[in-house]
Every structure is written in structure tokens, then in C-alpha cells.
């Protein structure tokens, strides 16, 4: 008997059909989140991505999910669903020991400026300096009118050098004239730190050149 | 002239490292994340890699793990330079394949001393 190899498209189609054979109601999809098969779990997440009631289960799954593609699907679904439970679930990933999960969460949060707006200030005041650094990372491509104001506030007040350094890096791209006094003050505050002096001089030069 | 790849998503950090290393006579290339770094390393291996941890697309741990799987790159020195100062982060860095784990902000003389040490350039 001749062996006919299926194309990747055919295999995907069969796979898709197989994993959609299970009952696609809410309870069936939630049960599928515990499937041994990552493809089944991923399909369940995708099918739950429009159901707000699924947020608690998706958040809970995030902390135990071992497959990167399922995890990415969960983060995207939560960002799409929005709301306090979903966004808190993504934000909690900033405290994870897993760098890949943290970075995925940062990328997802950058895409939902309106959802993130109300929690940025509390995250910038978090007791954990790493969380404050990741929050500055979120601001990097967050299209929001307060980004510069938040960054200026960080370099004026944050006691941790690496939080200030991360904010200064971003100000070198988005800073305007109104950031100049705070950058000069930061340079005075960390006058013994070569990186801050280098970055502050570079940022001031860029802003001043942009003004001319 | 020895050739170093600086991998960091922050442009200012890359420039800072480049300034220090080029002033000391090294050639420097840059990559903005682990994926771009892997692509560059596979085309033309470098003498030393200076790697950040938190970067989009592929973080520093992921880069080092993948990098160490490549037979011809497995022995090349790599310094992880990051804001993550915890003991667990340090352990993760060494487990991923870093030869040295340094926390930011790094002073120019520190970066140069460790670079020379790993490249065998100490006088």
C-alpha cells in the first residue's frame, strides 16, 4: 500500500477538527484547559477568548501552564477580554521568576493602554523595584498621553537607580523640554554613577537638538 | 582585534557599552534581542557576548540556552548584565550558560576588567 504523506495544511486541518470534537460549551472548554494535549488547551483558550466568565479560570491556568504557545494564547485572550480580573492576572506575571512570562506580559500590556492607565501609578509605586522597572518597560510603546509625565515622576522620586536608569533610557526617546529640569536633577542625585551621567547627557543633547 | 556582541533592548545601554569597549580597542556589534543576537552569532561568531536578561522576543536566558546548544559556540564567553540582582536570578543566569553575572549599573572599569579577564587580555 502506498504511503501518502499529508501536507502540513491537511494535518493542521485534521488536528483542528479533532480538537474541536469535544463539546464546545463553557464547561467543556474549561475542562479542556486541563487536557494533556497542548493543542487542545490552546484551542480551548481561543474559544474562551470572548467569554468574560472564563477570566478566573484563564488566570489560574496561567500560573501552571507549561507550554509557551498556550501561555501566549492565554495572555492574548486576557488582554482581549480586559476588565479587572483579566488585567490583574496579566500584571501578576510581572512578579514571576520566569523571564519569558514576564516579557510576554509586558508586551501584552503595552497593547492595552486604556486598561493599563488606571494601574500604572500604583505599579510605579510598587514595593518591588523589579516591578517598577517592568512597568517602565510597559510605558515604552504604550500610546498614552501621560507617558512622559509618568517617566518624569519616576526620575524625580524613585530611590532605585535602575528604575531611574530605565525611565531615563525611555526619556531619551520620548522626552521633551519639560523633562530637562528632572534629568538635570537626576544627574546631580546620582553624580557618582557613570551610567546615569552618560545617559542623562545623551538625553539632554537629544532633547536640546530636537528643540533647535 | 577582538569582536564583541552587545545584546540589550535599550539603545542607551548598547551605546554605553560600545563606548567603553571601543575606547579600549575592541570591535563592537549590537543586537536588540536574543533572536537578532542568535542570527548574528550563527553567521559570524564573536569572541564575547554581553547579554541583558529582559528583552522582547527572546530574553537573555533563552538566548544563552539556545546559544550553548550550538557546538561551535558552546565555549565562547558570555557576560550577563542585568538589573535582576536576586540570588535566584543569578542562579538562573549561570544555569543558562553565563560565565559571569553582573548587576547594573556597571562601572566602565568593571566592564573592562571582566571583559579582559574572559578574553585573556589581562596584562
Can you give the pLDDT at residue A15? 55
The reply to whether the predicted model has a pTM over 0.95 is no
Positions in chain A whose pLDDT score sits under 50: 1-6, 8, 11
Rounded-to-integer distance, Cα A122 and Cα A172, Å: 24
CA dist B22 and B10 (Å) reads 18
pLDDT at B78: 97
Q: Using the beta-carbon criterion (under 8 Å), do A103 and B108 form an inter-chain contact?
A: no
The answer regarding whether domain A8-111 maps to CATH 1.10.3120 reads: no
Q: Which residue of B has its CA nearest to A164?
A: B105
Q: How far apart are CA B106 and CA B100, in angstroms?
A: 13
Of A103, A107, A165, which has the smallest distance from its Cβ to B104's Cβ? A165
Chain B residues closer than 8 Å to A162 by CB: 83, 104-105
Residue with cell 512570562: A101
H-only helix segments in chain A: 8-19, 26-32, 38-48, 55-62, 68-81, 84-92, 99-110, 113-124, 129-139, 147-157, 161-174, 180-189, 194-211
- Model pLDDT, residue B87: 84
Any bridge partners for residue B78, and if so which?
Answer: B49
pLDDT, residue A60, reads 93
Q: In chain A, whose CA is at the least distance from the CA of B83?
A: A162
Name the 3-class secondary structure at B27: strand
A56-92 pLDDT per residue, tens: 999 999 889 989 899 999 999 999 899 989 999 999 9
CATH architecture of B3-119: 3-Layer(aba) Sandwich (3.40)
Please, are residues B30 and B18 in contact by the beta-carbon 8 Å criterion?
yes
CA A45 to chain centre: 18
Tell if the CB–CB gap between A162 and B104 is shorter than 8 Å. yes
Please name the helix (run of DSSP H) or strand (run of DSSP E) that holds residue B65, with its range, or none: helix B60-69
- The interface pTM score, or ipTM, of the predicted complex is 0.91
Domain ranges of chain A: 8-111, 125-212
Question: In whole angstroms, how far apart are CA A182 and each of A147, A170, A175?
Answer: 15, 14, 11
Q: State whether residue B11 sits within 8 Å of chain A by CB.
A: yes
**What pLDDT does residue A5 have?**
46
pLDDT at A20: 58
Q: How far is CA A171 from the centre of its chain?
A: 19
Interface check for B88 against chain A (CB to CB < 8 A): the answer is: yes
Per-residue model confidence (pLDDT) at position A1:
40
Nearest CB neighbour to B83, from listed A100, A133, A196: A133
* B17-48 pLDDT per residue, tens: 999 999 999 999 999 999 999 999 999 999 99
Cβ contact B61–A196 (<8 Å): no
Cβ partners under 8 Å of residue B56, min gap 6: A103, A106, A107, B9, B33
- pLDDT band for B110, please (50, 70, 90 cuts): very high
User: Each residue of A3-27: pLDDT tens digit?
Assistant: 444 454 554 555 555 555 667 788 8
Q: Where in chain B are the domains?
A: 3-119
pLDDT at position A24: 77
Quote the minimal CA–CA distance from A194 to chain B in Å: 6
> How buried is residue A169: exposed, middle or buried, by Cβ count under 10 Å (0-12/13-18/19+)?
buried
Nearest to A145 by CA among A117, A173, A170: A117
Amino acid at each position: 500500500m502506498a504511503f501518502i504523506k499529508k501536507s502540513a495544511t491537511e494535518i493542521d486541518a485534521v488536528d483542528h477538527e479533532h480538537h474541536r470534537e469535544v463539546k464546545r460549551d463553557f464547561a467543556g472548554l474549561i475542562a479542556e484547559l486541563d487536557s494533556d494535549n497542548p493543542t487542545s488547551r490552546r484551542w480551548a483558550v481561543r474559544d474562551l477568548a470572548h467569554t468574560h466568565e472564563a477570566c478566573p479560570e484563564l488566570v489560574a491556568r496561567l500560573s501552571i501552564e507549561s507550554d509557551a504557545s498556550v501561555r501566549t494564547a492565554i495572555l492574548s485572550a486576557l488582554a482581549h477580554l480586559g476588565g479587572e480580573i483579566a488585567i490583574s492576572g496579566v500584571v501578576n506575571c510581572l512578579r514571576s521568576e520566569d523571564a519569558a512570562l514576564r516579557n510576554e506580559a509586558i508586551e501584552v500590556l503595552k497593547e492595552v493602554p486604556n486598561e493599563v492607565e488606571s494601574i500604572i501609578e500604583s505599579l510605579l509605586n510598587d514595593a518591588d523595584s523589579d516591578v517598577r522597572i517592568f512597568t517602565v518597560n510597559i510605558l515604552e510603546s504604550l500610546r498614552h498621553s501621560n507617558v512622559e509625565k509618568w517617566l518624569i515622576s519616576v526620575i524625580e522620586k524613585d530611590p532605585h537607580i535602575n528604575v531611574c536608569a530605565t525611565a531615563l533610557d525611555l526619556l531619551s526617546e520620548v522626552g521633551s523640554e519639560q523633562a530637562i529640569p528632572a534629568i538635570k536633577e537626576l544627574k546631580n542625585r546620582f553624580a557618582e554613577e557613570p551610567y546615569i551621567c552618560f545617559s542623562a547627557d545623551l538625553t539632554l543633547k537629544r532633547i536640546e537638538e530636537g528643540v533647535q | 582585534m577582538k569582536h564583541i556582541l552587545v545584546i540589550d533592548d535599550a539603545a542607551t545601554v548598547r551605546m554605553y557599552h560600545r563606548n567603553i569597549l571601543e575606547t579600549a580597542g575592541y570591535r563592537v556589534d549590537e543586537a536588540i534581542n536574543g533572536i537578532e543576537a542568535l542570527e548574528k552569532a550563527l553567521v559570524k561568531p564573536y569572541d564575547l557576548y554581553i547579554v541583558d536578561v529582559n528583552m522582547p522576543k527572546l530574553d537573555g536566558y533563552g538566548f544563552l540556552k539556545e546559544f550553548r546548544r550550538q557546538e561551535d559556540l558552546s565555549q565562547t564567553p558570555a557576560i550577563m548584565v542585568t538589573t535582576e540582582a536576586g540570588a535566584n536570578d543569578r542562579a538562573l543566569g549561570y544555569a543558562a550558560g553565563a560565565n559571569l553575572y553582573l548587576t547594573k549599573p556597571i562601572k566602565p572599569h568593571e566592564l573592562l576588567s571582566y571583559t579582559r579577564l574572559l578574553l585573556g587580555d589581562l596584562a
